[in-house]
Amino acid sequence: MQLSRQPRNLRGNGWPRVAVPGLRASMVAKSVDPQSETSTAPEATPTCKTNRTFTAASTSAPVASSAVASSAVASSAVPLPGPSARPTPAELDGLRFKLDASVERWSTRETFMTAAISDPKDNKKASDLSGSNMRLADVLPRLLQPASGAGAAATDPKRAAHWAYHLVRHLGFNGLAFAGFAAHDLVERLQRLQRQVAGGGRGSSSGGTSRTPFEKLLEGAEAELAYRLSDFIEAVDQDYDNIRSGYYPLPWDMTSPRHRQYNPAYVAASSAAYVGEWVKITQRRLAKQPEPVWLDGGKLYPQYYNKTFHFQTDGWFSARSAFVYETTTEALFSGLQDIMQRTTLLPIADYVREAESGSGPASSASGASERSPAQLRLLEVAAGTGRFHTFIKDAYPDMRTVCSDLSPFYLARARNNMRYWRRLRARGRFLGGVDETGTEFLQTAAEDIAAPDDSFDIVVCVYLFHELPEAVRRRAVSEFARVLRPGGLLVLTDSVQLGDRPGLERNLDVFGNFNEPYYRNYLSCDLGSMCEEAGLTPDTKYLCSATKTLSFRKAAVGEAPATAPAV
């Protein structure tokens, strides 16, 4: 696909090799058995361990760290934090990566994750935050501004359509989340009444508190909705700016009138499945009792994988889990998950442009002077249901891609999604691969990829690393470097980390309460250093709402590989 791309606004020169006090020798990969629960628990991972509390006051904004990088360019000396300070991942990113304009765009925004998913005994709500008095009246006028929202209809009908589509998604998924909490509240009340009638006492299953998550949600509903709507406006504007600049096309599901998401029967079925699942998830979360995995995979699956992450039913091991997963995660993020994930396409677009122009390492990976997307090979690791993979294919239908995951149930769902994409977007085209979708499917673990060395030009991994023990993250990064061709591109997309969005960190760690045993460790993990140790060079950093994207390059033929920071 030929695109006319405008250059992105980048700051900083990237510092792939810096010496930072406080990054001790313990940062070197340890010999740890990734199958051992004790060896991979956060307490046993000194590289990512932090003594910071999860509050905005405990972190520094990444804007400051990028200023440090800029001053270092002028003085040829990197100002370093004091001996008692442990730099945040955002501060370290500012020394290693070129910073996309989105980094500063999001680093100063105030946001609050809904109080309904916080600890059941925690009375925090959005209206309690110091200086946080946002109301809907403060946000709604932005929807009518000429640059975006309804006000764009006269000047840019395409932007107005993009905005309207995502506003419907935003309100719809917010409403669905509201319905899920309301359904749980109703179930709790009915069960409480049943116990009272049976003489079983007046206790609740909500961990000893009389307030359900729904009741907590209602107390600060306006402020939380205002924060969500404010972030929605910012994210949708950023997404359309990327589309207008030619980095990727309009969402294919938006521009496909026959898409099942416009079918009331499909929407009703997926919504009903979500509400039923969310009631169970909330009950397990409040009781802190995840459901055991029904399937004993023996040695087929690593120990960390045999968890019911998010308290979801069946973990990764059922077709029903795969069916409801997309709706559950979109409802959790107010319909912004697709937008956040599409940030992953930015470094891919730059790489493809580089290959097509015959300039830089992207073109030299195979020795050819110019390479079309059809000559590139991409691997998506832990692709899950394959929804994001459809966005990759819609941008580059001729690119040869591989969709990998450990779960056969999620891979089957990914195959279904890819077939559906072809039926709506590439009917009659013979793209090769499975079902003529141009995609192959691979059941493999990220830390032991079943592919030869130098197999792929691009490796993509979205929302996986926060669910891996640190030792496994290191092995996965080494595998990414191994299967990449010289000059290849690695793109990691996952949750923001400490320092990326100080205005979000008041309760960012709440996601660790969703049976995410490695999430808090991930928040302070230095991914840049980890990838450098594997020989990958940091390239560019991007932010979008609660998601960060980091891109890395593997040294081309004749280039020296990256080296880890001095310790």
What single letter denotes the amino acid at residue 302? P
Task: Mean pLDDT check: name the lowest of 68-82, 241-255, 403-417.
Answer: 68-82
Q: How confident is the model over 381-386, as a mean pLDDT?
A: 97
Is a pLDDT exceeding 50 seen at residue 46? no
* Structure confidence at residue 118 (pLDDT): 64
Whole-angstrom distance, CA of residue 146 vs CA of residue 86: 44
Cα-trace Rg, the chain: 23
Map tokens 């969402």 to a residue.
251
* Structure confidence at residue 60 (pLDDT): 33
Q: pLDDT digit string (tens) for 412-452? A: 999 999 999 999 999 999 999 999 999 999 999 999 999 99
Q: pLDDT digit string (tens) for 476-530? A: 999 999 999 999 999 999 999 999 998 888 777 778 778 789 999 999 999 999 9
Identify the three-state secondary structure at position 21: coil
* Structure confidence at residue 196 (pLDDT): 85
Map tokens 């972030």 to a residue.
231
Residues contacting 62, CB < 8 A, separation 6+:
90, 91, 93, 94, 99, 103, 104, 107, 499, 500
Domain ranges of the chain: 89-192+212-554
* Structure confidence at residue 34 (pLDDT): 39
Pick the CATH number of 89-192+212-554 from 3.40.50.970, 3.40.50.1100, 1.10.10.10, 3.40.50.150: 3.40.50.150
Is a pLDDT exceeding 80 seen at residue 53? no
CB burial of 90-113 (b: ≥16 within 10 Å; e: otherwise) equals bbbbbbbbbbbebbbbbbebbbbb
- Which phi and psi (to 5°) does residue 42 adopt? -55, -35
Assess contact for 269 and 176: CB atoms under 8 A: no
CA angle, 104 as apex, 382 and 8 as ends, to 5°?
75
Task: Mean pLDDT check: name the lowest of 34-48, 208-222, 252-266, 551-565.
Answer: 34-48
Whole-angstrom distance, CA of residue 565 vs CA of residue 567: 6
- Residue 546 is classified by DSSP as T
Q: Which two tokens stand for residue 20?
A: 């930072």
Assess contact for 341 and 547: CB atoms under 8 A: yes
Distance of CA 334 to the CA centre of its chain: 14
pTM of the model: 0.84
- Strands in 19-123 per DSSP E: 98-100
* Structure confidence at residue 527 (pLDDT): 97
* Structure confidence at residue 58 (pLDDT): 32
Across the beta sheet with 547-554, the strand order is 10-11, 98-100, 536-544, 547-554, 484-495, 456-462, 377-381, 400-405, 439-443
Whole-angstrom distance, CA of residue 213 vs CA of residue 196: 21
* Structure confidence at residue 30 (pLDDT): 33
199 or 157, which is more confident?
A: 157
CA quadruple 101, 236, 174, 425: dihedral, nearest 10: -120
317 forms beta bridges with none
Map tokens 């023990």 to a residue.
469
Is a pLDDT exceeding 90 seen at residue 199? no
Q: How confident is the model over 266-285, as a mean pLDDT?
A: 95
Give the CA distances from residue 84 to residues 22, 62, 87, 261, in Å, rounded to whole numbers and listed in that order. Answer: 8, 19, 10, 53
* Structure confidence at residue 6 (pLDDT): 54
Whole-angstrom distance, CA of residue 13 vs CA of residue 492: 20
